[in-house]
A = this chain, B = another copy of it.
Amino acid sequence: MVVNPTPLPTASRSSRADHARRFADLLRQQIHAESFAERGLPSEPELAAEFGVSRNAVRDGLALLKQEGLIDRAPRVGTHVAQRKYDHGLDALLGLKETLKGHGEVRNDVRAAVEIAPPPAVARRLQLEPGEPAVYIERVRYLGDLPLSLDLTYLVPDIGAEILGRDLETNDVFALIEEVCGQPLGSADLAIESVNADAHSAANLQTPEGAALLLLERLTRLVDGRPVDLEYIRMRGDRITMRSNLVRRPDITNWELTS
């Protein structure tokens, strides 16, 4: 059934910038998936041949990836991967330390860890009674020497008070909540946004002002449904990729579809 045939585009709509973007997107994925670290990236002519675009489009595409902080380029040295990005799993509820297990040591610079009188916006989300305090924790989280995220955390007072006495410099808050409660967390509502870094967040994350950040808001509940942990997490966009596997029909198993 041909509903409304789309006319083929005229060549003029595909500019050098279009070709550069197409090339950059494909090469970005290869940089994430493969190790160019030791041998460096192929030369401009090699890339032009492989991706079927002009040398100019290759040069523009490499400039895009350099701007994203993915690659370094220098005369005579060539083009190299600047620093790898780390995957943050989205298929289960994971803390940063858990998701980066095997990649190095996560340590946290604790900027604040205090009991506060929560604003109504926090009290409502954590279902606190009027007058109940909350616990506020703010940390910059590093993988080795690399700052990855700036985390603002609001906790319910009973769990939060216990956590203030724990080792906040090396642990995920998730692990501490589970240690304090003696039971695993249940689930979380997650919102993911892309924002430009304000000057102060940028300084904390050692990234330029205006750099693209992943901003996560996450409200985490115990298994019984009680909300206990409200977080605002800014992750460096040039160092973290969120990854997930999505199913088209979560209500139907593949077995039912294929059998």
Known: A113-B8, A192-B242, A243-B190. Contact between A198 and B93, CB under 8 A?
A: no
A6/B113 in contact, CB under 8 A: yes
**When each residue 191-213 of chain A gets 1 if its CB lies under 8 Å from chain B and 0 otherwise, what string results?**
11111101111000000001111
Kindly state whether residue A22 has any CB partner on chain B within 8 Å: yes
**When each residue 58-91 of chain A gets 1 if its CB lies under 8 Å from chain B and 0 otherwise, what string results?**
0000001001100000000000000001000011
B6/A223 in contact, CB under 8 A: no
A190/B245 in contact, CB under 8 A: yes
Known: A184-B257, A246-B190. Contact between A201 and B122, CB under 8 A?
A: no
B residues less than 8 Å from A190 (CB atoms): 90, 243-246
Range of interface residues on A (Cβ < 8 Å): 35 or more
Q: From A25, which residue of chain B is reached at the shortest CB distance?
A: B232
Bound: A192/B92 CA distance, A:
15
Q: When the two chains form the complex, which single residue of B9, B164, B242, B246 contacts A111, counting CB atoms closer than 8 Å?
A: B9
Mark A residues whose CB is within 8 Å of B: 1-6, 8-9, 13-15, 17-18, 20-22, 25-27, 29-30, 32, 50-52, 64, 67-68, 85, 90-93, 110-114, 117, 119-122, 125, 138, 152, 164-170, 174, 179, 183-196, 198-201, 210-214, 217, 223-224, 232, 235, 237, 241-250, 252, 254, 257-258
